[in-house]
Amino acid sequence: MDERLLTERLVGYDTSQPDGLRAAGGFVKGWLESHGIDAVQHDHDGLPVLLATVGPDRPGVPTVVFHGHLDVVPASHDEQFVAVIDGDRLYGRGTYDMKGGLAAMMCAFRDLAVGVGGALDPEQGVSALPAHPADQALDDVRVKLVIVPDEESEQVDRRSTETFVKAGELDGDFAITGEPTELQIGVQAKGVLAVRAVVHGTSAHGSTPWIGDNAIHKAIGAFRRIESLPFSRQSSELYDRPSINLARIAGGDAFNMVPDRCEITVDIRYVPGQDPEEILRQIGEIPDLEVQRVFRRAPAIVSRRNPFVEVLQAAASVTGEGVGLTVGRDGASDAIAFLDAGIPAVEFGPSGNGHHGPEEWVSISSLAQYRRALVSFVRSIPGTSGCTGAPSVATGEDLIR
């Protein structure tokens, strides 16, 4: 089974639901075991977390973590769980985020387990995955594969990746999470600041709105103020501005009443170098806005000079033009769980578009490129200077302008 066929199989499971996640987890475990790879399934809040390891278990061996997630956001129609091919595009819920990348990652992991694929050859490039003799099986690098069921979950303080990293199950020298990146390497991601706030007004009969003070109108006005605060105009080396999204708004008790209370949730993705406390201070100065709850997550930052990043960049770049560039990513991912534990982590995945939308698709050819890049990356690590416990370093270039 190649990466395209495996993607089609994974799309067929509705992994926006617990039953679909459990069924898909069983399929993945069986697939790995059918290729001679021992896979251990753990339970996390009733959902499966799969762990597998290939390579030698001895001190001093560089350890790389391949990280992917099975869950998807809900689909508007059941037809989205049937993969459809149109030229180089494979459509379906999760093809881009991130069942396509996960399938190619699983195939790359299998290639490494059975001794397929060579190290990067700058003269020849990487255009195929030739079989290798048994004595060239993976012997100088350890690779851990983790597949989680809850990357898309809103229960951000209960996600399995953070739990397993903290428990030491996912220790390593470098981690790759297979979020879609157009085959570029996400060395930065914006921080997350989610703010839930309440605006109060004065109730009145719906036929005489001028007597009351409409809390929904005031809440929209407060959001417009947030969009124009000084922090919203700051930039960094890889980002021209933060993103500010009015994610939820709830208010009103009846159609014939002026609402006297409105609650909004604002999703702010701030750039490296910004201080979330300063952002909250600015928001707190908006009249009649009562901040009730805040969730925050720091930006993800890995130095472009990290030795693993440089090896990955070289391995990816030979698979196609414009591939392997280091970029900043707007969205957050589980990479931050590794970074919080001192493990350098990047986002790196295939090409496509439409994630979280009804026309989601992944490029079939990019899945093959992605698989080759991962195998070549791992095969190129032995003997590379600095690829042992390389730290994550933020430099002056990461500060805001």
Q: Give the residue from 349, 265, 287 showing the smallest Cα distance to 94.
A: 349
CB 170 within 8 A of CB 334: no
In this prediction, residue 118 carries a pLDDT of 59
pLDDT at residue 281 tops 80:
yes
289 is written with which tokens? 């806005």
Beta partners for residue 250, in sequence order: 263
Mean pLDDT for the stretch of residues 354-360: 89
In this prediction, residue 341 carries a pLDDT of 93
Mean pLDDT of the chain: 89
pLDDT in tens, 146-158: 999 999 887 777 8
Task: Kindly report the number of other CB atoms within 10 A of residue 117's CB atom.
Answer: 24
In this prediction, residue 330 carries a pLDDT of 86
pLDDT in tens, 301-324: 999 999 999 999 999 998 887 789
In this prediction, residue 114 carries a pLDDT of 86
Report the percentage of the chain scoring pLDDT > 90: 77
72 is written with which tokens? 């998807």
Domains and CATH numbers, the chain: 3-189+300-398 (3.40.630.10), 191-297 (3.30.70.360)
Q: Give the residue from 394, 272, 367, 244 showing the smallest Cα distance to 328.
A: 272
In this prediction, residue 124 carries a pLDDT of 45
Contacts of 352 (CB under 8 A, 6+ apart): 89, 95, 96, 100, 180, 360, 361, 362, 363, 366
In this prediction, residue 128 carries a pLDDT of 45
In this prediction, residue 139 carries a pLDDT of 82
pLDDT in tens, 132-143: 333 356 788 999
In this prediction, residue 157 carries a pLDDT of 73
pLDDT in tens, 3-41: 999 999 999 999 999 999 999 999 999 999 999 999 999
CA–CA distance, 121 with 97 (Å, rounded to integer): 30
CB 234 within 8 A of CB 261: no
In this prediction, residue 180 carries a pLDDT of 95
CA–CA distance, 326 with 310 (Å, rounded to integer): 10
CA–CA distance, 61 with 308 (Å, rounded to integer): 14
CA–CA distance, 66 with 170 (Å, rounded to integer): 10
Q: Position of tokens 């890889």?
A: 238
